[in-house]
């Protein structure tokens, strides 16, 4: 992405600033956000803002939809859950106006932010930069409702949980912003979630690739899709605190990192569920018979292991799905029980996926075995394993989450020295 010229000419920049749910959690905090935006405007920067819903609001709206129906109409779900961001966008615009800063709110469709029609998990396909460009020109702050867009069928879509990050990065790419600042309730990206490991260290920089893995493996500090977009368009993305004026973490290309750790972070994801199909007939077509109907219902199967049984006629297949989809998964499998012919279905949501991530892993042996040794020393049983070039993930009992993450954090030398 070309760097916007303004920055080179006189130190001013075009910046998209995104404020998460806690940062806009009440009116005091919205005022705090407005002051930060006003400061950047006062320094002469061109600023556009993206906001999330107030903390807790989206969860509440999702809860209403679930109460209304297990298999609810995803289009109506989007109409409901997109509502939280409308409120904060309007409130921040009003608050900025009170500070004498010209501002107006925009909903996704008013930009427009065009998406595909996968309701609940839509992808941004196109953003017309004209609306934001016009605001920059007029010296007006556009406050955009994050998390939402509009599909071809003229219906509101949402981008999946945590999707305001993606709205911000996509807008930053569309207007060739110099930077996308993601303001949140921690002051950067840490070696692991600082809320469960007090010894976690803040990273000055992290590569796009590692951040992408960390995010997709559960570090919700950035939505996965936002990192993919930042990487694709070379958006300089910074994660920083909305409460303190501290330098944050910059997500950068690999070439910008001088010394690369073997393992740079540990992620965990509690939102997993494990399903075992016991006694599935061991013949061609049976496994595909299990996963095809799940895929058709947009259920994302993650890790899969198949174990042959003693007599070779049946097999057990274990896999993980998002916990939110467990009910649906079980229902679909039970509906197909006669065709599939398995003997039992065992499932639990009491599992967690723990992952170690690092680009340095590519050139180091023994990284996975340190993980297995560390967990076994703590008496933690590994239920499923999967690996890729730069990560190793295991599924374990949820009750050991903190113990496992802390032990691994120490084992890979990531603990902060006090
Ligand atoms: P927002 O509402 O601002 O979008 P989120 O709750 O989505 O904020 O993301 C911030 C949270 O991400 C932090 O409060 C922290 O608990 C969690 N988190 C998980 N892993 C990490 C990590 N490696 N570094 C920083 N924060 C992390
Ligand atoms: N409000 C939405 C959510 O809670 C989007 C976001 O916060 O990024 O998932
Ligand atoms: Mg978030």
**Phi-psi category of 402—alpha, beta or left, where left has phi over 0 and alpha has psi -120 to 50?**
alpha
**Phi-psi category of 13—alpha, beta or left, where left has phi over 0 and alpha has psi -120 to 50?**
beta
Instruction: With beta carbons less than 8 A apart as the criterion, state whether 167 and 147 touch.
Output: yes
Report how far ligand 3's centroid is from the alpha carbon of 222 (Å).
6
pLDDT in tens, 252-269: 998 887 777 889 999 999
Report how far ligand 1's centroid is from the alpha carbon of 276 (Å).
31
Strand-pair category, 14-19 with 179-184: parallel
pLDDT in tens, 211-250: 999 999 999 999 999 999 999 999 999 999 999 999 999 9
Within 6 A (CB) of ligand 2 lie 20-21, 52-53, 58, 84, 146-147, 161-165
- 295 three-class SS: helix
pLDDT of residue 10: 56
All residue ranges of the chain with pLDDT < 70 are: 1-10
Report how far ligand 2's centroid is from the alpha carbon of 161 (Å).
5
pLDDT of residue 286: 87
pLDDT of residue 171: 98
- 118 three-class SS: coil
CA torsion sign for 170, 172, 174, 178 is negative
Dihedral angle computed from the Cα positions of residues 34, 17, 122 and 26, in that order, rounded to the nearest 10 degrees:
-30
Q: Which ligand is nearest to the CA of 147?
A: 2
Q: Which ligand is nearest to the CA of 197?
A: 1
- Whether the predicted model's global pTM rises above the 0.75 cut: yes
Q: Of all helices (H) and strands (E), which one includes residue 74? A: helix 74-81
Report how far ligand 3's centroid is from the alpha carbon of 184 (Å).
8
pLDDT of residue 71: 79
- Closest C-alpha among 335, 342, 211, 347 to residue 272: 347
Q: Which residue has the least CA distance to atom 9 on ligand 2?
A: 161
CA 221 vs CA 30, 120, 197: distances in Å = 20, 20, 15
């Amino acid at each position: 992405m070309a760097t916007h010229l303004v920055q080179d000419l006189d130190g001013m920049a075009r910046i998209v600033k995104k404020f998460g749910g806690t940062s806009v959690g009440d009116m005091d905090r919205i005022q705090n956000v407005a002051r930060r935006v006003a400061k950047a405007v006062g320094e002469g920067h061109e600023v556009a803002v993206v906001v999330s819903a107030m903390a807790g609001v989206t969860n509440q709206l999702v809860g209403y939809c679930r109460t209304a129906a297990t298999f609810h109409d995803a289009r109506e779900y989007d109409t409901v859950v997109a509502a939280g961001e409308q409120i904060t966008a309007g409130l921040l615009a009003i608050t900025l106006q009170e500070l004498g800063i010209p501002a107006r709110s925009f909903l996704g469709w008013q930009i427009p932010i065009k998406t595909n029609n996968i309701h609940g998990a839509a992808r941004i396909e196109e953003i017309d930069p004209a609306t934001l460009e016009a605001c920059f020109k007029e010296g007006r702050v556009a406050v955009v409702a994050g998390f939402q867009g509009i599909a071809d069928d003229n219906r509101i879509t949402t981008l999946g949980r945590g999707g305001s990050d993606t709205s911000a990065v996509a807008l930053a790419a569309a207007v060739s912003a110099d930077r996308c600042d993601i303001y949140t309730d921690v002051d950067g990206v840490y070696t692991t979630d600082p809320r469960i490991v007090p010894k976690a260290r803040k990273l000055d920089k992290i590569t796009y690739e590692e951040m992408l893995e960390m995010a997709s493996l559960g570090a919700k500090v950035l939505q996965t899709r936002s990192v993919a977009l930042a990487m694709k368009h070379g958006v300089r993305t910074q994660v920083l605190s909305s409460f303190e004026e501290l330098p944050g973490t910059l997500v950068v290309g690999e070439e910008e990192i001088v010394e690369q750790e073997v393992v740079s972070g540990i992620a965990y994801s509690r939102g997993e569920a494990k399903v075992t199909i016991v006694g599935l007939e061991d013949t061609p077509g049976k496994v595909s018979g299990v996963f095809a109907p799940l895929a058709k219902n947009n259920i994302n199967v993650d890790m899969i292991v198949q174990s042959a049984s003693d007599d070779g006629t049946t097999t057990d297949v274990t896999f993980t799905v998002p916990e939110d989809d467990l009910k649906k998964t079980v229902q679909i499998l039970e509906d197909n029980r006669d065709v599939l012919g398995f003997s039992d279905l065992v499932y639990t949501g009491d599992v967690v996926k723990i992952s170690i991530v690092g680009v340095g892993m590519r050139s180091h042996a023994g990284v996975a075995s340190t993980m297995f040794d560390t967990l076994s020393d703590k008496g933690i049983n590994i239920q499923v394993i999967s690996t890729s070039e730069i990560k190793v993930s295991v599924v374990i009992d949820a009750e050991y989450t903190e113990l496992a993450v802390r032990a691994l954090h120490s084992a890979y030398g990531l603990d902060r020295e006090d």
